[in-house]
Structure 1
Amino acid sequence: MTDHPIDHATAPRPTNRLADATSPYLLQHKDNPVDWWQWGPEALAQARATNRPILLSVGYAACHWCHVMAHESFEDDATAAVMNELFVNIKVDREERPDIDQIYMSALQQLGVQGGWPMTMFLDPDGAPFWGGTYFPKEARYGQPAFADVLRTMAQAYVNGDPRISSNREALLQRLTQKARPAGTVVIGPNELDDVASRILGIMDPEHGGVQGAPKFPNTPFLELLWRAWERTGRERFRDEALHALDSMSQGGIYDHIGGGFSRYSVDERWLVPHFEKMLYDNAQLLELLALAANETFHPLFRQRAEETVGWLLREMVTEEGAFAASLDADSEGHEGRFYVWTLKELLAALGAEDAEFFARHYDITPFGNWEGVSIPNRLKGGELSGADEVRLAVLRDRLLAVRETRVRPGRDDKVLADWNGLMIAALARAALRLERPEWLEPAARAFRFVAGSLTRGDRLGHSWRAGRLVFPGLSADYAAMVRAALALHEATGERFYLERATAWSHALDAHHAEIGAGGEAGGGYYMTADDAEGLILRPDSTADDAVTNPNALQARNLAALHAVTGDTAWLARLDRLFDALLPRAAPHLYSHAGLLNALDTRLRAPEIVVVGAGPQADALWQAAGRLPRIDITLSRATSATALAPDHPARAKAEATPGGAAFLCAGQICSLPVTDPNRLTDALSRDSGAS
């Protein structure tokens, strides 16, 4: 690094460049006195031209502490003046540019700092990170330096050529670009999967459910991994721990008991106090598990939470175009959670004394509150109620929802993200089958049509759409999630259009995101960014789960489903090459690769159920198959045996079976015909290829 002073004479006058952004998060900062740039070549060129380091600030619209730091520092003229003098300031929406977020979050963690948002990173003019943190207060407190002091220290260290900056930068880049490729072959099979599940049992909270400690996140890949272990082994404790977590979340304050939907996480170990932002991806992942739990247990709680969550989704999250918005803010009127909390006085005014007392008793609304002087509705105290009492509470919830609608609403980030929409579309389609709610298929199909029509160029996906503007090209997560959505809709409707989309997008993902093997074929995992995307300091290719299952894991499950639906062994070969490349990388850190382990379980044992025939018996078999409480069963239907592929292993048996029949297939072996819908579950548990 050359030791040059900062040339302030060449620095432009402060100009905030966020006014023409499409991201609601960036638009929240368009009136800051900070000289913000959006990420792009122009910003990096400005840093190089003025020899100033870069201050990178990453957040998202629903992030509470992002708002706090913005109010304290980015809206403050004095702090903004320091930022403008010493840095080229770049603001990034992590949901719009998760590739940038992943690169610098990895760098932050390599520095030994626990990641989170807002993320505040200091880069050299070429974009290489040398130091960073998360939230910095305006004034020094609780052992944290004042933000302005951090700014001056980092800028001075850069100007003076502090050798620690150079060593940090080189060490970080070396770690970020290094690919974990342990020598030798890694074997992970059912025994290893069961061992990981057993170890996860050891960190589960026996009292409150979920992973021990606080904060508590839903961690759906862990819950799914436990569920799969129960399916493999029959050990009920695996299933029961997953159900315990779902039950606690469904009764806790992390769930919005008045309006439906789950917040992102709970700040305490009891699931009582949420971080009130609501994210589309959390609710999508939880919806799938709730529908699964409802079918397994027949417990009305899980069905009710699934139906209420869909109710919230369709009431509050559908954009004008028919797709799904990204998130709801945690804050309203400048206070976190104000929209969602209640006082006993408000309850009395809304319901009257008798109903208010009844509701308060069952939802923990107390005179002095259960959180900061107000009450977060919850049902954690449990207790069985009569059917009449539950109906009465439902009526009262509707009345409180009407009152709540008069409050100042939290902000909604209405950008349409292809990956998060894909997750929700798939969840809606699968829940529609499991819970026999066919009316949910239309909003799922409507959102799919918008993404397929407005977030694409040819067979390629973009990532984010808002106000007619598309962020293109898309990321590997967009393809993996939308292929999953297409397969789920194909399964639910039988329409070939969805299978064609799944096939085309999978080919595009391989063409533009796959690591290329020695033979020139798509051989390894998937880079997050496309091969023709704007240049970054590297192409991120993480295989670990984040808040959402890693796209490599999602696409692995898609490849297994494509093989099952089409019979084309090329999809299976691609899947095996993917596992050959990724399992050695995952082996040292299996906990963070739960999504990939779940995909491996799909590869090893996921069955296909084929329903052949037309008429009432075939219809009843199809409906029964859709309700089966098993993860990753592939469902397909053929009107007759001749509609099956000539080499399909069920064809000969179907030709010999008059009337409707179902066949359970694994690999190239199919069961004897099942003609009684009530016997499908028995057939599934008996079949050696599927258990």
Structure 2
Amino acid sequence: MTLPARNLLAEEASPYLKQHSDNPVHWRGWSPDALAEAKELGRPILLSIGYAACHWCHVMAHESFENDAVAAVMNRLFVNIKVDREERPDIDQIYMAALHAMGEQGGWPLTMFLTPDGKPFWGGTYFPREARYGRPGFVQVLEAVDKAWREKQESLGQSADALTTHVEQRLAGAKGKAVLDRGTLADLAGRIEGMVDGDLGGLRGAPKFPNAPFMHSLWLSWLREGQTAHRDAVLISLEKMLAGGIYDHVGGGLSRYSTDAEWLVPHFEKMLYDNAQLIRMCNWAFAATGNELFRKRIEETVAWLLREMRVEGGAFAASLDADSEGEEGLFYTWSGEEVEAALGADSARFFQYFEFAAPHGWEGKPIIRQSEAQQRQGISEDAQLAALKAKLLAARENRVRPGRDAKALTDWNGLMIAALAEAGRSFGRADWVDAAVKAFAHIVEASKDGRLPHSMLGDKKLFPALSSDYAAMTNAAIALFEATGSSAYMDHARQFIDRLDRWHQDPEKTGYYLTASDSVDVPIRIRGDVDEAIPSATGQIVEALVRLSSLTGDHDLWAKAWTTAEHAMGRAAQQAYGQAGIINACALALEPLKLVIIDKLDSSSLLVPVANRSSDPRRVDVVLPIGTEANQPLLPGGVLPPTDKPGAWFCSGQTCLPAVTDAGELERLLRRE
């Protein structure tokens, strides 16, 4: 089947793909029809993968994809397919793994050349239109690939077959199971500690990413083993990034990463998942330290989320772009004159709390950051500083805004829903919990035939969901159950696991595939074991199974969780990197913690506030009002706690401590004092 000789992206749901719908390139979306066209024509495929907030994706688009001469070469030599990596992480992970197997550095835009049957034989990331940065010009690349294809098609095909087999073994293979061992997390945390920048936080060197799965490993190590150095590494990392330019000091929220080692110059895109994980980490940090910095940054980030990221219906958009008016960071940076115009006589006071930085090579306006002393002063004098920031925010609202990728991704929303529910509990913010409830309902109501979508943009929905979607929404449902006490969320969680089993479980019932069994356009059905900026799909699945089985006391579900964890660890043991999410989740399986509280659910409650402010990522909480007729086993062994008086039962695995009735004693217990 030969598709029309024109750009076909106008009808796609992805804002990223729509950004390319006016290109002179004859783009196709990833589909069986596009793959069939390549086979019919006998042409190689040029696959370009990116996302809406990607700065270098925009650069390559402006330089090459919007250029008639470049497009003419692409259209003559290749079948050109565009993919939004956020819509199709399954496709992205396959070809990114292929690029890594070629010994190349990964990143986006991902530019891959495939045989007509979709097997990769060469690729790279960003290519400039003209040769520079030590890289060949894009037209040179296109013509060289075409020449190689025409003259060495047989050998390229053999190489593509071998590369595809390698990727399949790495991403889809079964490696047996491994015994879950407490030492695995300790070993990982020790190796991460060795990579941490003791002065600046994060991992040493540049660029600097928040790397939430690694920070989670360190935090769990402290909670389990008492490694205070690991706790301090997380706290230093948070404090440094929250003082740097990677954090939006005017409007709240974290950018994707900093290009330098000091958290100063970010790529200014803001991703939903980074900020979900920031809220969770700051919540844990506040529970451990009482440092008001973490509370304030949570409040600011949630305010940004509710102000700028909600889409119609209540779910949350995927990202905000780095660029506006063709310039990276223009929306977020300030000149001294602009600050003075916005604040007038108060501008001098503003510079008591902040400083400008413009490092070598940065061509934009200065970037706002804080020194450690200014950060402490800003928190202690929050009321005065908040008024100044409100004026700057109002002035910034008059600027041309960065583009927003308004598609709602189910797994990313699941992460944010859980973060909002947890923070709402901790800080008594019913409005945050309500926002989480609305987002959850929006996504569930979009289901079709009982199956979740992966992505939504208005009336357009992308089905079927990925395994990461069901896992993230299961964890979100559990967080909402903890925050609201509504058993409806437990029903949702069970339904999500049922769908996960139906559409994603492998035939041996040892784990799950990322794509559903009825997905017809994936060249390889991968597991989803590798972390990216968020924990892997497999890590999230193990966590969801452990939490749900712990809450319900369902022995069959627990057996499934343990089997999945053992086989996930077996595969993780064969990989060199990207397995922190699996190891963290398996640590939960080794030591699932459960807290059951019977108490008055009003202002006279003494035990519930203690649990709410003692956030622990290992623990699941069940809160019931006095007098409840419990209809399910709540303690290990199917034991029902008495419900005629206040009490708290803290359980680790199958062992529960004696009931606690004193709030101070419960606080000491939860803090492991």
Name the TM-score class by shorter chain. Answer: over 0.9
| Structure 1 residues 189 and 50, CA gap change in structure 2 (3 angstroms) | same
Deviations 1:359-418 (A, max 9, x none): 234321269999435211111353442777443222111100000000000000001111
Counterpart of 1:435 in structure 2 is: 427
Q: How far apart are 1:41 and its partner, in Å?
A: 1.3
Counterpart of 2:188 in structure 1 is: 196
Q: How far apart are 1:486 and its partner, in Å?
A: 0.8
Superposition map of 1:347-426 within 5 A: 347-352=339-344, 354-365=345-356, 371-372=362-363, 374-383=365-374, 384-385=376-377, 389-426=381-418
SS at match of 2:310: coil
SS at match of 1:37: strand
Counterpart of 2:591 in structure 1 is: 605
Aligned equivalents of 1:419, 1:59: Cα separation in 2: 18
Query: Is 1:645 matched with 2:632?
Result: yes
SS at match of 1:96: coil
Question: Which one-letter code corresponds to 2:164 in the other structure?
Answer: L
Counterpart of 1:307 in structure 2 is: 299
Superposition map of 1:149-548 within 5 A: 149-179=140-170, 186-352=178-344, 354-365=345-356, 371-372=362-363, 374-383=365-374, 384-385=376-377, 389-454=381-446, 456-517=447-508, 523-548=509-534
| Structure 1 residues 435 and 591, CA gap change in structure 2 (3 angstroms) | farther
TM-score normalized by structure 1? 0.93
Q: How far apart are 1:242 and its partner, in Å?
A: 0.7
Aligned equivalents of 1:187, 1:622: Cα separation in 2: 36
Aligned equivalents of 1:103, 1:146: Cα separation in 2: 26
Counterpart of 1:7 in structure 2 is: none
Q: How far apart are 1:514 and its partner, in Å?
A: 1.2
Deviations 1:523-553 (A, max 9, x none): 2221111000123211122312111111111
Q: Any conservation in 2 of the 1:650–1:665 contact (CA below 8 Å)?
A: no
What number of residue pairs does the alignment pair up? Answer: 670
| Structure 1 residues 42 and 541, CA gap change in structure 2 (3 angstroms) | same
| Structure 1 residues 478 and 281, CA gap change in structure 2 (3 angstroms) | same
Q: Any conservation in 2 of the 1:99–1:529 contact (CA below 8 Å)?
A: yes
Question: Which one-letter code corresponds to 1:342 in the other structure?
Answer: W
Aligned equivalents of 2:388, 2:531: Cα separation in 1: 40
Deviations 1:425-484 (A, max 9, x none): 011001111222122111111011110001x11321110111301111111111111111
629-638 or 26-35, larger mean C-alpha shift: 629-638
| Structure 1 residues 649 and 582, CA gap change in structure 2 (3 angstroms) | closer
Instruction: Indicate which of 105, 108, 111 corresponds to 1:114.
Output: 105
Counterpart of 2:565 in structure 1 is: 579
Q: Any conservation in 2 of the 1:292–1:434 contact (CA below 8 Å)?
A: no
Aligned equivalents of 1:206, 1:481: Cα separation in 2: 32
209-218 or 230-239, larger mean C-alpha shift: 230-239
190-199 or 27-36, larger mean C-alpha shift: 190-199
| Structure 1 residues 404 and 617, CA gap change in structure 2 (3 angstroms) | closer
| Structure 1 residues 176 and 602, CA gap change in structure 2 (3 angstroms) | same
| Structure 1 residues 342 and 28, CA gap change in structure 2 (3 angstroms) | same
Q: How far apart are 1:225 and its partner, in Å?
A: 0.8
Counterpart of 1:123 in structure 2 is: 114
Query: Is 1:92 matched with 2:78?
Result: no
Counterpart of 1:46 in structure 2 is: 37
SS at match of 2:373: coil
Aligned equivalents of 2:30, 2:618: Cα separation in 1: 39
| Structure 1 residues 375 and 668, CA gap change in structure 2 (3 angstroms) | same
| Structure 1 residues 73 and 590, CA gap change in structure 2 (3 angstroms) | closer
Aligned equivalents of 2:130, 2:639: Cα separation in 1: 76
RMSD: 2.2
Q: How far apart are 1:28 and its partner, in Å?
A: 0.4
Aligned equivalents of 1:316, 1:132: Cα separation in 2: 36
Aligned equivalents of 1:53, 1:452: Cα separation in 2: 40
Aligned equivalents of 1:652, 1:397: Cα separation in 2: 53
Aligned equivalents of 2:236, 2:24: Cα separation in 1: 49
Q: How far apart are 1:187 and its partner, in Å?
A: 3.2
Counterpart of 1:673 in structure 2 is: 659
| Structure 1 residues 397 and 573, CA gap change in structure 2 (3 angstroms) | same
| Structure 1 residues 658 and 596, CA gap change in structure 2 (3 angstroms) | same
Q: How far apart are 1:491 and its partner, in Å?
A: 1.2
SS at match of 1:525: coil
| Structure 1 residues 45 and 183, CA gap change in structure 2 (3 angstroms) | closer
Q: How far apart are 1:321 and its partner, in Å?
A: 1.8
| Structure 1 residues 647 and 530, CA gap change in structure 2 (3 angstroms) | closer
Question: Which one-letter code corresponds to 2:53 in the other structure?
Answer: A
Deviations 1:261-281 (A, max 9, x none): 000111100000111000001
Q: How far apart are 1:307 and its partner, in Å?
A: 0.6
SS at match of 2:559: helix
430-439 or 185-194, larger mean C-alpha shift: 185-194
Unaligned stretches of 5+ in structure 1? 1-9, 518-522
| Structure 1 residues 651 and 531, CA gap change in structure 2 (3 angstroms) | closer
Unaligned stretches of 5+ in structure 2? none
Question: Which one-letter code corresponds to 1:346 in the other structure?
Answer: E
Q: Percent identity?
A: 47
SS at match of 1:589: coil
| Structure 1 residues 367 and 626, CA gap change in structure 2 (3 angstroms) | closer
Aligned equivalents of 2:104, 2:380: Cα separation in 1: 52
Q: Any conservation in 1 of the 2:355–2:368 contact (CA below 8 Å)?
A: yes
Question: Which one-letter code corresponds to 1:42 in the other structure?
Answer: D
| Structure 1 residues 641 and 453, CA gap change in structure 2 (3 angstroms) | closer
Q: Any conservation in 2 of the 1:215–1:269 contact (CA below 8 Å)?
A: yes
Q: Any conservation in 2 of the 1:480–1:551 contact (CA below 8 Å)?
A: yes
388-397 or 101-110, larger mean C-alpha shift: 388-397
Q: Any conservation in 1 of the 2:177–2:571 contact (CA below 8 Å)?
A: no
